Structure 1
Amino acid sequence: MCEDDHRIGRRALFVTGAAAALTLGTVSFSNGPAAEAADNQETKTVRGTLPTGSPDFVYLPVDVPEGVREIKVSYTYDRPSVPAGTQANALDIGVFDERGTELGGKGFRGWSGGARTEFFIRADDATPGYIPGPVRAGTWHIALGPYTVAPQGLTYEVTITLTYGAQGRTPAPVYPPNRAKGRGRAWYRGDCHMHSWYSDGRRTPAEIAALARAAGLDFINTSDHNTHSSHAHWADQAGDDLLIMLGEEVTTRNGHVLALGTDPGTFVDWRYRAGDNRWARFARDIRRAGGLVVPAHPHATCIGCGWKFGFGEADALEVWNGPYTPDDEVTLAEWDNTLVAAVREGHGRWLPAMGNSDAHRDPDAIGTPQTVVLADDLTREAVQEGIRAGRSYVAESKNVSLTFTAAGGRGEHAGIGERLRVDRDTPVTVRLEAQGVPRCSVRFVTDQGVLFTSDPLPVTGSGTVEWHTTAQYAAYVRAELRHEAAVGPLPGVLAAFTNPVFLGRA
């Protein structure tokens, strides 16, 4: 075993700190298996220290010679105690192959963030989160991501082991179909944000699929952090009763976004911040790959989770993420403001809302919440079109069912995500039929705010609520169902909410 010391001086690092990344000195191995014939392996260990102010990514180049069958990497870093309110050390890891680290390039071979302390890549297999394939000669790059650095600095140790020998055979990927049996035009239930053991989740695809079926879901979307490595491991979990779409949670340092329903094998890069002006490029890449762009939990309080890129490129917005919390309430208010702005600007484009579980492990519940979409069929394209058009509502479980409509006096009728085209002074009847929401209150929210709140529904959970308005009084109406409030005048947590019905001819 050989060891290298890659300590970085604080002053030297800050000189390069304006760059998005820092490249360390190259780790070199022998020219082939003859040098290590005894055990057919070579191992080298690199140590270094990163001070506070480190760039987002630090690359460790590794010269891989011919004849390597497997590359294995393990790493550790120190975790000193820090004062209250100060960030401790956290170091992510991934790897790029000999094709390079170019942003959006083809060199990506895997990312595990902080979920694993080691990984391997061979032609025939790889650690979850990583892409199997030939280990070709050239300069590979281990990517270190100092997510947070303590005041004392971050001292790391990376060990690289090369195993020589004949390459295995890379299996041809098999992906789930873009269609399930479906019921024609109908309301379909889905959860489009969840994590498997291919990133920082703890569940296998089989476990997730079983939980999705138990939650009454018709479709799901895979969304592992910063890797598409799971895409080839879902085919045997799909079926006539469950559509499995493929995607990624693009986890940047300035917020997270779902690439929802992309083509199989699509990788979306995440190595940029809002100030880099690169986000629009990757949003276009998501759409070119057949996906939707959905900012996730934009007001989550975890480091790097707050969405800083704006909503100009979004196809929909994840308003409700997991069990309902105050940051979801903030997002709900912000989303409602986008509806008001759309009405004011009069361009017809508005941002639909959705909700997802973001489930990682027990006791996280798949399908809490779930987005219920009116789609022409149970296909990737039809579900995406329903989400994009806002023909959907969000419910806390499969027990909740809603019908929300607006009607004019001459037979005009519109449902969720649609426009009721009536004159400004035409009487409009707004009607909500609900099931599975015992003792919940109904609120009708418009561009003027909450204009109607019902008495609690009966303990049976079923009821019908009507409200009368005009397009002059309300440019749109959406419905919320709230549990009983726990504290004073604050509203209770959501049981469900709908996208709006717009009123008027504009």
Structure 2
Amino acid sequence: MTVHRGRWTLEDRLERGLRELPFDVPPGTASITVELAFEGGVIDLGCHGPAGFRGWSGGARRAYTIGPGWATPGYLPGEIEPGTWHVWLGLHRIPPDGVPYEVTVTTSASPARAPDVPAPPPAPDRPPRRDLPAPAGLRWLAGDLHSHTVHSDGTLTVHELACLAASRGLDYLAVTDHNTVSHHPRLPDAAAHAGVTLLPGQEVTTDLGHANVFGDTGWVDFRRPSADWAAFAAANGGLMSINHPLSGDCAWRRPLPPEHRPPFVEIWHPSWWDRRWGAPLSWTDLWLPGGAVPLGGSDFHDPGQFKNLGEPTTWVLADADDGDGVLRALAAGRTSVSADRDAPVLLRLDDELIAVGADGTVLVRPDGRRAAVRGDRVRFPADGPGLHRLESHENEVIALCG
């Protein structure tokens, strides 16, 4: 057993926010259990082994177990290699009078026993798909690009989340747990069971901003500069988006030079609670003038929260229903965002815009020119790149497209 005790101070957090506490693992160890106790503040929890990253649970847990066949959600099961391991402590919120803490690490020659796993919920009936105009060989898929499970700070299992997505009529869902990829191996079975495409993802989470990385890229090292996240995603077949850039203490404040900025921005997030507020639009224009690709995500954690899965809905014009098809559509910028799956939507097909179910709204072009929408399916010529939107007569954003 290894025990670390002490008191973290505000100065400790300001000097270095992520602390690594070492412990030795002898040969023959079959499981590791780490327990964290502290009073006041918020301390995140994670683990790193001799072979690399082994898991992260942030502030959602105060204990975890890792073994060859099973690990606490958020952590990666596998061989327990002998050598020096590290408990990661993220000093997320340390008050001026400090936080006393104790970390206890227990190693065992016995494998960790996996808890009983409940049976997945029955596969749901899904609403009929919406009929939206699309070129031959392509189809608009309804999805949500931001969600969480028990593998970080969500309350649903992967299977439960997948069934909820299908019941709400979504075609795809990105599962983006914080700073971990432990949920990725669960996605294929849950997707097949529920009848929905589950896109592997992770929310790279720091004190100064969050970003989603979409695709089966492997773990993104959140300790690195943000430009490295984007480069890693691109090198491994993934895409990175900036999340909820104006969302309170989760707003984007990380340095990222213009030449390294990804074009994908989660402009529509539940924190945009009054869509007459124009700051998200202005931020997006300044982030990458003329080239930002608008995305939306519910940031879903729990059915009891005010956030509903698929609110907003991000539509992608895809050539296939699988995760690769979704990624290709995102990479090409073929996106549209609506308030939910059945809400008015603004679609772009080459040089044409189509407003569907939007009678009485106003089309706003990138240069500010406006036109009234009269009818259920109204076509307008597009003006080249840039963010187009539908607004109400009170300037509330109704739909977006790039």
TM range (shorter): 0.7 to 0.9
In structure 2, distance between residues paired with 1:468 and 1:386: 21
Unaligned runs of 5+ in 1: 1-42, 80-88, 100-106, 170-181, 273-277, 343-349, 405-414, 421-429, 486-490, 500-506
Unaligned runs of 5+ in 2: 115-128, 130-135
- Shift, 1:351, TM fit: 2.1
Residue 212 of structure 2: aligned partner = 258
Look up the equivalent residue of 1:143 and give its one-letter code. W
In structure 2, distance between residues paired with 1:376 and 1:156: 52
Look up the equivalent residue of 1:145 and give its one-letter code. G
Q: Retained in 1: the 8 A contact 2:294–2:387?
A: no
Counterpart pick for 1:236 among 175, 178, 189: 189
In structure 2, distance between residues paired with 1:198 and 1:329: 34
Residue 11 of structure 2: aligned partner = 53
Task: Output aligned runs, 1:128-143, within 5 Å.
Answer: 128-143=73-88
After TM superposition, the score normalised by the length of structure 1 is 0.68
- For 1:259-299, what per-residue CA distance to the aligned partner results, in whole angstroms no more than 9, with x for missing partners? 11234xx1111014xxxxx3323322111221111111112
Look up the equivalent residue of 1:382 and give its one-letter code. G
In structure 2, distance between residues paired with 1:70 and 1:468: 62
In structure 2, distance between residues paired with 1:431 and 1:284: 33
Residue 118 of structure 2: aligned partner = none
Work out which of the two has the higher radius of gyration on C-alpha atoms and give 1 or 2: 1
Larger mean CA deviation between 393-402 and 367-376 belongs to 393-402
In structure 2, distance between residues paired with 1:398 and 1:237: 22
- Shift, 1:434, TM fit: 2.1
Q: Retained in 1: the 8 A contact 2:214–2:238?
A: yes
Look up the equivalent residue of 1:112 and give its one-letter code. S
Counterpart pick for 1:332 among 278, 281, 286: 281
Q: Retained in 1: the 8 A contact 2:292–2:387?
A: no
Identity of paired residues, percent?
30
Say yes or no: does 1:481 pair with 2:398.
Answer: no
- For 1:281-340, what per-residue CA distance to the aligned partner results, in whole angstroms no more than 9, with x for missing partners? 33221112211111111121125754542553314111111363259842222223456x
- For 1:379-409, what per-residue CA distance to the aligned partner results, in whole angstroms no more than 9, with x for missing partners? 33332222222222101111125354xxxxx
In structure 2, distance between residues paired with 1:476 and 1:122: 50
The structure showing larger relative contact order (alpha-carbon pairs under 8 Å, at least 6 residues apart) is: 2
Say yes or no: does 1:92 pair with 2:44.
Answer: yes
Alpha-carbon spacing, 1:150–1:214, altered in 2? closer, same or farther (3 Å)? same
In structure 1, distance between residues paired with 2:322 and 2:33: 39
Larger mean CA deviation between 229-238 and 315-324 belongs to 315-324
In structure 1, distance between residues paired with 2:72 and 2:112: 16
Q: Retained in 1: the 8 A contact 2:174–2:199?
A: yes
- Shift, 1:352, TM fit: 1.1
- For 1:341-376, what per-residue CA distance to the aligned partner results, in whole angstroms no more than 9, with x for missing partners? 34xxxxxxx221111111111232111111111112
Aligned to 1:223, the other structure's residue is in SS state strand
Look up the equivalent residue of 1:219 and give its one-letter code. Y
Alpha-carbon spacing, 1:306–1:281, altered in 2? closer, same or farther (3 Å)? closer
Alpha-carbon spacing, 1:325–1:214, altered in 2? closer, same or farther (3 Å)? same
Alpha-carbon spacing, 1:262–1:313, altered in 2? closer, same or farther (3 Å)? farther
Task: Output aligned runs, 1:371-450, within 5 Å.
Answer: 371-402=314-345, 404=347, 415-416=348-349, 418=350, 420=351, 432-435=354-357, 441-447=361-367, 449=368
Q: Retained in 2: the 8 A contact 1:481–1:497?
A: no
- Shift, 1:185, TM fit: 1.1
In structure 1, distance between residues paired with 2:311 and 2:255: 26
Aligned to 1:209, the other structure's residue is in SS state helix
Alpha-carbon spacing, 1:476–1:246, altered in 2? closer, same or farther (3 Å)? closer
Residue 288 of structure 1: aligned partner = 235
Residue 372 of structure 2: aligned partner = 454
Task: Output aligned runs, 1:102-113, within 5 Å.
Answer: 107-113=52-58
In structure 2, distance between residues paired with 1:302 and 1:497: 25
- Shift, 1:466, TM fit: 6.6
Q: Retained in 2: the 8 A contact 1:294–1:314?
A: yes
Alpha-carbon spacing, 1:167–1:225, altered in 2? closer, same or farther (3 Å)? closer
Q: Retained in 1: the 8 A contact 2:244–2:250?
A: no
Q: Retained in 2: the 8 A contact 1:67–1:166?
A: no
- Shift, 1:236, TM fit: 1.4
Residue 314 of structure 1: aligned partner = 262
- For 1:451-488, what per-residue CA distance to the aligned partner results, in whole angstroms no more than 9, with x for missing partners? 22538x7xxxx63557789x6xx975712233x64xxx
Say yes or no: does 1:63 pair with 2:24.
Answer: yes
In structure 1, distance between residues paired with 2:174 and 2:212: 9
Residue 199 of structure 2: aligned partner = 245
Aligned to 1:222, the other structure's residue is in SS state strand
Aligned to 1:332, the other structure's residue is in SS state helix
Counterpart pick for 1:147 among 89, 92, 105: 92
After TM superposition, the score normalised by the length of structure 2 is 0.84
Residue 177 of structure 1: aligned partner = none
Look up the equivalent residue of 1:463 and give its one-letter code. D
Q: Retained in 2: the 8 A contact 1:194–1:359?
A: yes
Larger mean CA deviation between 375-384 and 290-299 belongs to 375-384
Residue 496 of structure 1: aligned partner = 399
- Shift, 1:56, TM fit: 1.2
Look up the equivalent residue of 2:294 and give its one-letter code. A
Count of aligned pairs between the two proteins: 374
Say yes or no: does 1:355 pair with 2:309.
Answer: no
Residue 133 of structure 2: aligned partner = none
Look up the equivalent residue of 1:375 and give its one-letter code. A
Look up the equivalent residue of 2:196 and give its one-letter code. L
Residue 38 of structure 2: aligned partner = 77
Counterpart pick for 1:189 among 142, 149, 153: 142
In structure 1, distance between residues paired with 2:196 and 2:381: 39
